[in-house]
Structure 1
């Protein structure tokens, strides 16, 4: 068995590749394209919105078999706004295919996806797609893998012809030419290497052996002794190095032209791990979260992770990756997060939006359950053990919108839609603005939120009025500032008394923490039972900064002294004292406003380079790199998110629709002084009106 994901930068051909894999494994009977002119569209893009826009919005699971091996596949989105879909897929997968465009090479989202694979130690194969395109250069892509992603990567194949002459590949292990012919490339013939590629084949094979020998002892020994290295020796060494994450095999072809897919499927079987070869650990909640290794054995106690939820017409569909044990239809499962027991009324295996009932799911399987209510990231066991699997990384939202339903009758459906979307997508957040009573939705980008607003209209019949997009500004300190605050209240009966002394300071640059609380008190001037209340008070004070009302981040609070009263001190008194102390010291700490800055990558024909750079400069962007690839130019820049609204329209108009861009969150950086002054004035005006 293999559990694999297919990930890449947007428009690299992931969904097209998955479509070909399903066709060649006999899972589907006909090939349909992503932007299908026949009105059908690719199998894995089954949402109406996906077919209209020609992009993948949510990851879809399917299964097929190749050469006697069962393969579970998850096709993931390439757009950074749907990055959580990639994150949760890679959290539960054993191996991955990183798809790269042979013309564009390593792009911004390729780097993000590679980082996500690294986060979960996922072995990977790189597939250089679109070798039939003008300007295709697998050699340049491999150089990008080494330079930009720092991979120890080498080609396992050489292309036989490029651009319109692309016919197949040379297998460097067996020194054979593989030609793909027939209407859908289904006729695969193996033969001798074309004479004009003989010397290139030997040189590329020698480089491959050298690269693998650097990280594999057994192959290094054969290499140093000058022994002949057989295809089987090399295949076994590549597998060991790939599983050890010390080598990335590179394969190539053209999914659209049906070339190279058969060989890639062989590569999945040869080089990616089966579930038993992957080390997975759970935390034992009964032994102070001690790490317990999980074994891919169906006879052991059950442990599985619900990694994705979908609302279907039959209720909630919960995708479950089983790491250990077996789950059967009718079993009672134990939800580790809330301690409740749930019964599994129906168990299915997914094929995009189609499902087939299965009696059981065993260790290593990915199945889906109906009628099991839970949140994304929940661990399920059979109740014999109290194990919990670590959750996935969830990035913070960077953009928000105000929403209001156009008619009151739709409010029930509006609430239902929001509850469902929050449950399904951890990067989608909902809150209420206390001042305006508006519903605020927050997410990863304009497209992310636009899709949810559109889904509300289509799936729930709710039309919304959308307010101006708002950016996730933050406030922070630039200097150390002391505090000494006494909260004292006496109004008959027991009063309130709490004093806190210490200082606030900015956290070190590059710190991953957003807040730290350190107790440097000597003695018990503040009784230990009140210290959590002091910390809680500071945390509550961070919710609203004094400059613009945005949350405060990157602050350390150090408590050095305090005082308590034998009768009047209580938790509320110390909470309020901490809040007062923070307000007192914040302005003295030279506060500043931070705004999210995005890493933007623009690709367009080279003649528009000057106009695009000028446009980015107008939006207060700083250009980091300009790379010319054949007739196109790729410009990398950092631009404040607040200045990026409406950029897609502007870019299309200046490039006659030929320009594309992608962006992802890079960091929070200080806002320019004039902008900060305007924000402070606006905040004070609103505060004055409220009074």
Structure 2
């Protein structure tokens, strides 16, 4: 009897086999993530060079006219930042590596989010001067969300003020990671006099007790040398610290440590791997990607310590059984008969579309294959829409270059051409299973935009539709009162990039209105409503009465709006209750204070009345809309504004001025610390007060200050701000009518 290929339980029947492990044990799916300007793309460039994917190393900012391979957009090369995540693949010794380079700027955090959703492991890059910074904390939180094992790479050891031991302490204290160097600090630098910065020559591997130097103009040749005598004691001390850290979380190494038996290199390496895969330990590597030192040892660490696809437990949801969890094994086996004979085809296909791009030949869809085999020409099913579609073209990505392939299997990251879908859709061969979706943060800033010329309207609409499809954090909407097109995103840079892309890619020049903050409205106390909607103007009238209460939802509640039917009996016919819920849901889309969405509200419907002739769904829907608005005004309505977590780094001499400016912007300083000659301030500041801050900070600090910010949450505004916002809203409504 052949197994039904559409049954979700089929996935459980195909655990990964020895053949699968042999096939996939040398595959690594990794991402490189970090705070902005920590050297992620420089590191990616060196990895591609040392693995033979590129023949020459180029600068990130593209001053040599070429630019880094993974930054293929002109905007990325001009600004020296990564805007879109880029995928590639390479071969290091016997290991096949699928690599995704992600942006560091918080405005493009969705690129990091969806990459980590599909990756098996990651490299967390840290600057040896800046250490653990605000976006480092955000990236670590994202890695924890998806249970991604990681290595840490302390980069830029060539810079003045480099202090890798400080960074290692911050990993333990700020990120609460059980981390230890597999290459120690003092025993790291093989130069005399001992020091850092430009005198760095090589590294010592604490696991193997071996020293390495990097020779050649691009550090191509890794030469093993004897560990200098003066570093022997330091090396043993650092190795003992490494063993102790691993022993805390790994039973094998722990047993040897407690028995005071020597831990050889193989035992320690296996212990580090087990502890890393269980998320109990983070191996720390060091080097300078820009100076071509330490990258090859990091690649060895990727092979030794990060998981292959078989090592990761993936879980989907059974669409045929109320979305119950179901294991998705990484297997490429063929379907077999229960009697043991062979059947045709591959195991159940499950693949997740995690990123979309508009290519020259249609939509380019990046997918991670979790189970089965995907072939060019296959018919697959989109589980979100139920539509069956054909795979016209299958490719591997090398940044913006394509390599056609005939098939790909479980554990691969590839791209499809000409397949219509949305980000987060699951493709299967008919199996009723879907992978869990990708978390999408809410946008915090909006701009009103319009094309300068009327003949650009078509391209304007085409561009916005494309960007909205590619980037889930980019939103477009029409303002119901002003008729303006409003775009929303994660920050000023995010929206600025899309406006510039419209100009370059679609030749649309935009007029841009002042940034609009995404406020929210809410209530602070409960209020009752009893509203009668009655209208008679000849013919069938409208009659509906609704009564109940609105009340605030508790803080941290997972939903923003709840409707509860508390009616006893049939005073409102059951057929009209969906219309009631729809009316209340429509009412919370626009609050009466400033016209922004209402959240944190529960509506409880307790009573009502209907007329045998004049009642209708429309009547009850309108009654609920008016009832909510009347009760909203009596429920202590207020406005919530987005608060940003801001980290400012500036020379200590400017500390007083920077703190005073944050206070003037109604910010709250949460802490500060010294980093060399700089002071790092952490503060919570209303987003509305942060416009133009980059210019102000440069002026205050003679161009030496820099800052990052990310969304923290919504908080109630002060009474003076509430009065100003409501006054401006009423004035705008009056002007629109006039």
Shorter-chain TM-score bucket reads over 0.9
Question: What does residue 532 of structure 2 align with?
Answer: 486
| Alignment check: 8 A CA contact 1:422 1:429 kept | yes
The answer for unaligned runs of 5 or more in structure 1 is: none
Deviation, structure 1 residue 405: 0.7
Residue from 233, 238, 241 that aligns with 1:204:
238
Residue from 543, 550, 559 that aligns with 1:504:
550
What's the CA shift string for 1:236-291, capped at 9, x where partnerless? 11111111111111111111111111111011111111111111122221222122
The answer for unaligned runs of 5 or more in structure 2 is: 1-26, 190-194, 333-345
Question: What does residue 75 of structure 1 align with?
Answer: 101
Residue from 460, 474, 484 that aligns with 2:506:
460
| Alignment check: 8 A CA contact 2:29 2:308 kept | yes
Question: What does residue 271 of structure 1 align with?
Answer: 305
Separation in 2, partners of 1:147, 1:488: 64
Question: What does residue 180 of structure 1 align with?
Answer: 214
Deviation, structure 1 residue 111: 0.8
| Alignment check: 8 A CA contact 1:99 1:128 kept | yes
Separation in 2, partners of 1:217, 1:528: 61
Question: What does residue 306 of structure 1 align with?
Answer: 353
Separation in 2, partners of 1:143, 1:567: 75
What's the CA shift string for 1:567-622, capped at 9, x where partnerless? 44433232222212211211111111111111111112222222211222222222
| Alignment check: 8 A CA contact 2:482 2:736 kept | no
More deviation, 4-13/574-583: 574-583
Counterpart secondary structure, 1:228: coil
Residue from 286, 296, 301 that aligns with 1:262:
296
Separation in 1, partners of 2:45, 2:380: 35
What's the CA shift string for 1:113-139, capped at 9, x where partnerless? 111111111111111111111111111
Deviation, structure 1 residue 349: 0.7
More deviation, 268-277/52-61: 268-277
Separation in 2, partners of 1:194, 1:539: 72
* Distance change in 2, residues 1:359/1:651 (3 Å): same
Residue from 642, 665, 686 that aligns with 1:596:
642
Deviation, structure 1 residue 493: 4.7
Question: Is 2:254 aligned against 1:220?
Answer: yes
More deviation, 448-457/128-137: 128-137
Deviation, structure 1 residue 177: 1.6
Separation in 2, partners of 1:611, 1:461: 42
Question: What does residue 95 of structure 1 align with?
Answer: 121
Question: Is 2:81 aligned against 1:55?
Answer: yes
The two structures, once aligned, show a CA RMSD in angstroms of 1.5
| Alignment check: 8 A CA contact 1:212 1:241 kept | yes
Question: What does residue 229 of structure 1 align with?
Answer: 263
Question: What does residue 673 of structure 2 align with?
Answer: 627
Separation in 2, partners of 1:249, 1:524: 65
Separation in 1, partners of 2:306, 2:540: 68
Deviation, structure 1 residue 690: 4.4
Counterpart secondary structure, 2:161: coil
| Alignment check: 8 A CA contact 2:481 2:733 kept | no
Give the total of aligned pairs. Answer: 690
Structure 1 segment 532-551 matched on structure 2, within 5 A: 532-551=578-597
Deviation, structure 1 residue 322: 0.7
Question: Is 2:521 aligned against 1:475?
Answer: yes
Separation in 1, partners of 2:454, 2:466: 20
Counterpart secondary structure, 1:286: coil
- Following TM superposition, the consecutive aligned residue runs of length 4 or more in structure 1 with deviations greater than 6 angstroms are none
Deviation, structure 1 residue 313: 1.4
Deviation, structure 1 residue 527: 3.6
Counterpart secondary structure, 2:320: helix
Separation in 1, partners of 2:432, 2:641: 42
What's the CA shift string for 1:504-541, capped at 9, x where partnerless? 12222233421222333334433444333222211111
Question: What does residue 686 of structure 1 align with?
Answer: 732
**TM-score normalised over the length of structure 2:** 0.91
Deviation, structure 1 residue 503: 1.6
| Alignment check: 8 A CA contact 1:500 1:559 kept | yes
Question: What does residue 337 of structure 1 align with?
Answer: 384
**TM-score normalised over the length of structure 1:** 0.97
Residue from 137, 141, 147 that aligns with 2:163:
137
